[in-house]
Amino acid sequence: MTILVIAEHNNTELNAATLNTVAAAQAIGGDIDVLVAGAGCAAVADAAAKIAGVSKILLADNAAYAHQLPENISLLIAELGKNYTHILAAASTNGKNYLPRVAALLDVDQISEIIAVESADTFKRPIYAGNAIATVKSDAAIKVITVRGTGFDAVAAEGGSAAVEAVASAQDAGLSSFVGEELAKSDRPELAGAKIVVSGGRGMQNGDNFKLLYSLADKLGAAVGASRAAVDAGFVPNDMQVGQTGKIVAPGLYIAVGISGAIQHLAGMKDSKVIVAINKDEEAPIFQVADYGLVADLFEAVPELEGKL
């Protein structure tokens, strides 16, 4: 078995999600190569070479891959991928964007967001917003898979010494171009990888009140998330959304404040180790999944909680 893992990165830093994807590759078993495709991304390849358990790094450094435009990068991955039995990428917005395109180019089905590896051809994945877990078997010659990071413990980022091999191929489909991006700036830990997440919902009432959560989060070293209601109401930007259509998190501690607990929200956080709910409605569905529930007004409870930590 030979597995190609596509590195997630921003051309300067390797994203930690790559380590979870390599862990999934190790669960499948076999030689693991990592593809780093981007522009000016040699530092990423060097970081990837240190990942424990990786055999080889393929570095495709070309302007055509600068923003991982799916039209270009999918041609590259499909070309390289023909030599592998498995192609894995993180189920990030990048992986979700280009990997189905790769699968179609290779004329195979794709398996999305696996959370467990049963064997080299059988995988578990959640369906219906996490309300059912399907075990799926693939007979395809090349298995194309996205990996849900929270399903696998990250491998060590240090300890490996893989060789870096340059890939000359420069695929430019000429169909698309990058115009610009607006990235939200945050000093707090990244939502998907945080050990503690504090999330707010409609109950926060307005964007200003999220300060209460930011302050609590800073005390805990936590990331701040939100429900769709809070995002739609304009309290916070949408990259903070936790749920079926937002980010999937599984921290050690998830504190849900003023969140009722709709199916779509639970889909994004119910694998958290410990869930705390603070809500004034004791009938809120969030209390059915919370390990510790506090029926209280969040505007009193949150500052009090912060004071007592």
d(CA 23, CA 13): 19
Question: Could you tell me the smallest distance in angstroms from the CB atom of residue 144 to another protein?
Answer: 10
Q: What is the 3-state secondary structure (H, E, C) of 211-225?
A: HHHHHHHHHHCCEEE
Closest by Cα among 93, 107, 92, 90 to 24: 90
Q: Is 242 labeled as ligand-binding?
A: yes
Site for another protein in 180-199 (CB under 8 A): 180-184, 192, 196
Taking a C-beta distance cutoff of 8 angstroms, is the pair 61, 30 a contact? no
162 contributes a contact to another protein by CB under 8 A: no
Q: Judged by CB, which is closer to another protein: 54, or 278?
A: 278
Q: Judged by CB, which is closer to another protein: 164, or 294?
A: 294
Q: Which long-range contacts (CB under 8 A, 24 or more apart) does 107-112 make?
A: 108/138, 108/140, 108/141, 108/142, 108/143, 108/144, 109/138, 109/140, 109/144, 110/144, 110/145, 110/146, 111/136, 111/138, 111/143, 111/144, 111/145, 111/146, 112/145, 112/146
268 contributes a contact to another protein by CB under 8 A: no
Site for another protein in 81-140 (CB under 8 A): 92-94, 96-105, 107-113, 122, 126-140
Site for another protein in 4-33 (CB under 8 A): none
Strand partners, 14: 9
163 contributes a contact to another protein by CB under 8 A: no
Q: Is 173 labeled as ligand-binding?
A: no
Q: Which of 16, 42, 296, 299 binds another protein (CB under 8 A)?
A: 296
> Running DSSP on this structure, what letter comes out for residue 53?
T
Question: Could you tell me the smallest distance in angstroms from the CB atom of residue 166 to another protein?
Answer: 26
Site for another protein in 210-229 (CB under 8 A): 220, 228
Relative to beta strand 163-166, strand 143-147 is: unpaired
Q: Judged by CB, which is closer to another protein: 70, or 160?
A: 70
Q: Which of 13, 211, 273, 297 binds another protein (CB under 8 A)?
A: 273
Q: Judged by CB, which is closer to another protein: 1, or 274?
A: 274
Segment interacting with another protein (CB under 8 A) among 25-33, 55-63, 206-214, 284-292: 284-292
Q: Which of 12, 176, 206, 215 binds another protein (CB under 8 A)?
A: 176
Q: What is the 3-state secondary structure (H, E, C) of 57-123?
A: EEEEECHHHCCCCHHHHHHHHHHHHCCCCEEEEECCHHHHHHHHHHHHHCCCCEEEEECEEEECCEE
171 contributes a contact to another protein by CB under 8 A: no
Q: Judged by CB, which is closer to another protein: 168, or 179?
A: 179
237 contributes a contact to another protein by CB under 8 A: yes
244 contributes a contact to another protein by CB under 8 A: yes
d(CA 201, CA 190): 19
Q: Is 293 labeled as ligand-binding?
A: no
Q: What number of chain residues touch another protein (CB under 8 A)?
A: 89
- C-alpha distances (whole Å) from 255 to each of 120, 210, 223, 272, 300 are 36, 13, 10, 10, 15
Annotated binding site for FAD: 202, 227-228, 241-245, 258-265, 279
Annotated binding site: 202, 227-228, 241-245, 258-265, 279
